Amino acid sequence: MTQMRDDERHSGSDPKLSADDAVLIDRMRSGFGPAPLGAVRSASFDARLRDRLERRSRRPWAWAALTAATAAALIWAVLPGELAREGQSDTTSPAALAWEQEVMFGDTSDDPFEVEGGEPLPPEYMALASAFEF
């Protein structure tokens, strides 16, 4: 009864049911189903379906708008950084580099005896300064 014959399995014919199984299936079919749709529910089903179809057909525009908004947000977020980096490249001029070094490491001019104003020290002062240099 519970064994399925090979010819039964491989043919496309519908399965044969015992009387008891037929009763079981009949009870299941009648006891497990939705109420019939009827004209009113059919109409409301169709109306909701039409509404969903219309909303879906508008969705490509929503996607386009969303994509544009995302792109704008990305540009807004990334561009100021790029501009700042471009600004930073100005500070890499020799004068700016020298300024940065001076701020961080003090005066780094090669000639320790050169004083502001460009006037070189007299030779005796230079000799004295050399004596204290390690």
Partner 1 sequence: MPGEMAIHDTGVRALQSEAELERQFAALLDSHRERALRLAWRLVGGDDAAAEDVTQEAFIRAWRGLPRFRGEAQLSTWLYRIVVRQAANHRRWRGVRERWGGAFPDEPPDPRPRATGDPGLRRRIASALETLSRGQREAFVLVHLEGFTVNEASEVLGKAPGTVKSHLHRALEKLRAELGDLRNDLSGGDHDADA
Give the interface with partner 1 as residue ranges (CB under 8 A): 2, 4, 8-15, 20-21, 23-25, 27-37, 42, 45-46, 48-49, 52-53, 56
Task: Please check whether residue 104 is in contact with residue 98, taking contact to mean a CB–CB distance below 8 angstroms.
Answer: no
Task: Please check whether residue 99 is in contact with residue 107, taking contact to mean a CB–CB distance below 8 angstroms.
Answer: no
Quote the least distance from Cβ 10 to partner 1, whole Å.
Answer: 5
Nearer to partner 1, 22 or 69 (CB): 22
Give the contacts of 101 (CB within 8 A, at least 6 positions apart): 108
Nearer to partner 1, 11 or 108 (CB): 11
Quote the least distance from Cβ 70 to partner 1, whole Å.
Answer: 25
d(CA 117, CA 109): 14
| Distance in Å from the first CA to the final CA of the chain | 111
**Which tokens belong to 105?**
């490491």
Nearer to partner 1, 13 or 92 (CB): 13
Quote the least distance from Cβ 81 to partner 1, whole Å.
Answer: 36
Nearer to partner 1, 49 or 74 (CB): 49
Quote the least distance from Cβ 23 to partner 1, whole Å.
Answer: 5
d(CA 130, CA 113): 9
What is the C-alpha radius of gyration for the chain, rounded to an integer number of angstroms? 45
